[in-house]
Structure 1
Amino acid sequence: MKGHSKNFKNLFYSQLFANTGDILYIVGLISYIYMVTQSATSSALIPVIITIGIFISGFISPYIYQFVTKKNVLIIFQSSKTIIMLLIVLLILNSNQILSIYILIFLNSFFDGFTNPVKNSMIPLIEKENMIAPSNAKMNTMNNTIQVGGWAIGGILLAYIGYMNVIIFTICLYIISVIFILKLTKIKEIEEERNSMLNSFKKMIKINISNKLSLFFNLSTFIESFAHSVWIAAILLVYIQSFLNLNVVWFGFINSLFFSGMIISGILVNFKYDIFERKSSFIIIFLPIIISLLNASFSMHKFIIIALICSFLYGLLDETRTIILNSKLQKDLKSENITQTYIFNNMVYSFSFSLSTLIISYIIDHSSVIYAFIIAGLSYLLVCLLGISFKKNLV
């Protein structure tokens, strides 16, 4: 954390505890709901509800941000998430009302939809320009590390202390997160013109369409979701079992190497960000060609070693591009437009990822899993072509 501002450190640690809590409570609730219902479908509804909550919040958040500072957004909604967790504990103790728990899960993700855009748009307000890329690298590395370790830690905690104590532990993590948010100080923000809820939403859409960099960011997010959806557990398991004809244990290795690549990417960009920034336009526009070939290669062979190597490289290169693209957004966009861009991007990704997952799953059910990876490869080629058409805005 050398060279970073105190505000960034406080933001970083607040999100470290909040994100860890987000995974642990899902682990605990999946276990609880399955125990009560004995239904895998009931448990699988949790990520669907979370996606819906984040998507819907995008319609309201532009209006809310007009009246509340970024720091207060984090305080209010992270505190609200803590209260939601307390209500979930009370519901579990007093009844088995699964519908009520689903409603609370929706509210928790709905509040996340307010905090997520702020976490990204805050970085240029609290860091010097030359520290923006390292800040994004650290944030992404932390998020990916939690994604890798959170589920494993959640499983261990679930086995030793039970779902109830896992949820109580989540409450403790949320409280610590709020404490770090309260330590944020002297954040300069531009006061925005206040509009009605409908007009504030229209303004957000207009900003994202009229600004070429925002438009590219959201269009590429939509297209890339068709590649990202291929990497969900259900599709990878089909690939391992039906295409490679291997034991499901290899699913864990492919997943681990994918996330390892993402983590190493964050570390590399953090320490060598000046080199990566000098090549930012090449990374954003042309790196998708290599990523496309990596995805398509999964349909061209049946060698697990090649699949493992490609999985690692995919995680490494895709994450590098993500960090550099986000850093460029935060440097080049006006301060008042950054949050609006991330709000819309949250909505685009939650909608397109759900849509692409359904489409890819349908294709696999009615043909072969290899078509999923061909689509993923074509998606990144399309992103490259999109980048070429927006080249003057990305240089």
Structure 2
Amino acid sequence: MKKSFHFLWISQLFANLGDVFYIVGLISILYQASESPFYMALLPFLNMTGRMISSSFAPLVFNHYRLKQLLVISQALKTALLLILAVGSLYTLSLYFMFSIIFAVAFLDGLAQPASTALIPRIVDKSQLLRANGLLSMINESTQLGGWALGGILVAAMNGEIVIWITFILFVLSTLCLLFVIDHTPFERKRNIPKKQQLTEGFQLIWNNHSFRTIHVMIILESIANVVWVAAIMYLFVADVLHVSEAWWGYINTTFFIGLVVGGFICTKYEQFFEKNLKYIVLFSSFAMAIIMILFGFNRVAIVALLLSLFFGVFDQFKGILLGTWLQLKATDDQLIKVYSAQGVLTSMLFGLSTLLAGVFANVFSVQWLFIGAGLLLLLSAIYFSCVQKRFV
């Protein structure tokens, strides 16, 4: 792997760990300041809204700035915002000011996420893309797995304000690492393209390319299905179906992330096998995920739920890495960033709306039917891929 890739994954490691600590610290500070469930619920809502809005306007920015330049600027601005929040947390901050910072950080994330993903094929040889994506997935999921536990320990041992200061330090390190990433891809600012065309180009690329369209139809169906894993739904399932303590939601969540890490490791270890059998592994993984989700809905045994969530994570990772690598191989450098921007809009919007609908359905139907319905959506996705798999040669 090239040095630039190493600096990129180290930067993402610091940034992702900082993002987890940032959320943990904020939850603690918001709870102490308001003790209101409504204000706590605003945190994920503002995160989703900020990312969706910035993803919508991202193509305008990407046409005027290099990806590395944009990454450094966005991470540096996030670092500055965390410094303001850390200093402000020493005093009495208004909730509205805190929510403004939360929205601004989410807005910058909506620009940085597609930029960092699109940068990977520019600094990694095509023959090593699958391994690079597998390594990044392992790092990201391991950070999620350990970050929440470590963040909780830090908040309990210290307080939310100190955790925000730790986040600031991690963001500084992430920004410094990005300075050493080198991208030699030629860049030319696009000045004469109408704004409407720039904003819709990513969606047009997805629609007009058969394999891109297939991938995003699957992403749409899975974004709707995967809302069952959010905390509110899982709490209901653990309490009403499994009849165990709320701690089991944490256990199920942990085994899911372990599955993701294991899936990333297997992809990296056997990259040549996965490359040669891409569409067959995606097809098998798609059906496996659907069956596991349906079984999860019918299951009433807590230990079995842990095993099912573990295997779901493994197959979810297989499919995500393979389809992501396919997209990076088939799209040009210029197309890829626009596709990722459109993808960010779709996933943010659909996940937000689906979460609201899942909450409504959970009040009307048994929570088990939500998981069974999610499994049927995943089955529809698998059947759809089986019908169009010839596009992936």
- TM-score calculated relative to the size of structure 2: 0.96
Which residue does the alignment assign to 2:270?
Answer: 272
C-alpha distance in 1 between matches for 2:106 and 2:206: 23
Q: Pick from 329, 333, 336: which aligns with 1:335?
A: 333
Name the SS for the 1:298 alignment partner.
Answer: helix
**Equivalent residue for 1:287?**
285
**Which residue of structure 1 lines up, in the alignment, with residue 318 of structure 2?**
320
- Alignment deviations for residues 48-72 of structure 1 (CA, whole Å, 9 cap, x no partner): 1001000000221101111100110
Match of 2:70 in 1: 73
Aligned residue in 2 for 1:251: 249
2:236 alignment partner AA: V
Shift of residue 365, structure 1, vs aligned partner: 1.1
Question: Counterpart in 2 of 1:20?
Answer: 17
SS in 1 for 2:64: coil
User: Is structure 2 residue 265 aligned with structure 1 residue 261?
Assistant: no
Aligned to 1:94, the other structure's residue is in SS state: coil
Structure 1 residue 217: deviation in Å?
2.3
Find the aligned partners of 2:288 and 2:115 in 1 and give their Cα distance.
Answer: 32
Q: Give 2:74's aligned amino acid.
A: F
Residue 391 of structure 2: aligned partner:
393
Code of the aligned partner of 2:3: K
Q: Which digits, 9 at most, give the CA deviation of each residue in 1:223-277, with x for residues without a partner?
A: 1012210111111111111012112222222111111110011111111111111
- In the other structure, the counterpart of 1:11 is 8
- After TM superposition, the structure 1 = structure 2 runs for residues 136-215 of structure 1, keeping only pairs within 5 Å, are 136-191=133-188, 193-194=190-191, 195-215=193-213
Q: Distance in 1 between matches of 2:88 and 2:171?
A: 19
Q: Normalising by the residue count of structure 1, what TM-score does the alignment of the two structures yield? A: 0.96
Task: Indicate conservation of the 8 Å contact 2:64/2:190, yes or no.
Answer: no
1:224 aligns with 2:210: no
Residue deviations 1:327-380 (CA, integer Å, cap 9, x gap):
111111122111111111111111111111111221111110111111111111
* Alignment root-mean-square deviation, CA: 1.4
Cα shift at 1:130:
1.5
**1:6 Cα offset (Å):** 0.4
By how many angstroms is 1:384 displaced? 1.4
Task: State the secondary structure of the residue aligned to 1:96.
Answer: coil
Q: Is the 8 A contact 1:363 1:372 kept in 2?
A: yes
Distance 2:249 2:382 in 1: 29
Deviation at 1:284, TM superposition (A): 2.3
Could you tell me which residue of structure 2 aligns to residue 94 of structure 1? 91
SS in 2 for 1:246: coil
1:91-118 deviation digits (Å, cap 9, x = unpaired): 3233331011101110101001111001
For 1:83, the aligned partner's letter is: A
SS in 1 for 2:157: helix
Q: Distance in 1 between matches of 2:328 and 2:373?
A: 30
Q: CA deviation at 1:157?
A: 1.1
Distance in 1 separating the partners of 2:186 and 2:102: 31
Aligned mates of 1:343, 1:191 — CA distance in 2:
19
Aligned to 1:120: 117
Name the CA shift for 1:324/1:100 in 2 (closer, same or farther; >3 Å): same
2:121 maps to amino acid = P
Within the candidate set 24, 34, 39, 2:36 is matched to 39
Q: Kindly indicate whether the alpha-carbon contact (under 8 Å) linking 1:244 and 1:303 is maintained by their aligned counterparts in 2.
A: yes
Distance in 1 between the 2:391 and 2:136 partners?
Answer: 25
Structure 1 distance, partners of 2:298, 2:164, is 44
Provide the rounded CA distance (Å) in 2 between the counterparts of 1:290 and 1:381. Answer: 9
The answer to whether the 8 Å contact 2:122/2:183 transfers is no
CA contact (8 A) 1:363 1:371 kept: no
Partners of 1:301 and 1:208 in 2: how far apart? 37
CA contact (8 A) 1:190 1:336 kept: no
How many angstroms does 1:167 deviate by? 0.7
Offset at 1:186?
A: 4.1
C-alpha contact (below 8 Å) 1:60/1:197 kept by paired residues: no
Q: Letter of the aligned partner of 1:133 in structure 2?
A: L
Moved over 4 A (4+): none
2:355 alignment counterpart? 357
State the number of aligned residues: 392
State the secondary structure of the residue aligned to 2:101: helix
Query: Secondary structure of 1:138's match?
Result: helix
What is the CA–CA distance in structure 2 between the aligned matches of 1:226 and 1:114, rounded to whole Å? Answer: 23
- Range moving further from structure 2, 222-231 or 301-310: 301-310
Contact 2:285 2:318 in 1 (8 A): no
Kept in 2, the 8 Å contact 1:27–1:154? The answer is: yes
Contact 1:55 1:346 in 2 (8 A): yes
Q: Does structure 1 residue 236 correspond to structure 2 residue 228? A: no
Q: 2 CA distance for matches of 1:361 and 1:44?
A: 13
Q: CA deviation at 1:165?
A: 1.2
Letter paired with 2:371? F
Identity of aligned residues (%): 29
Q: Distance in 1 between matches of 2:195 and 2:27?
A: 35
Partner of 1:383: 381
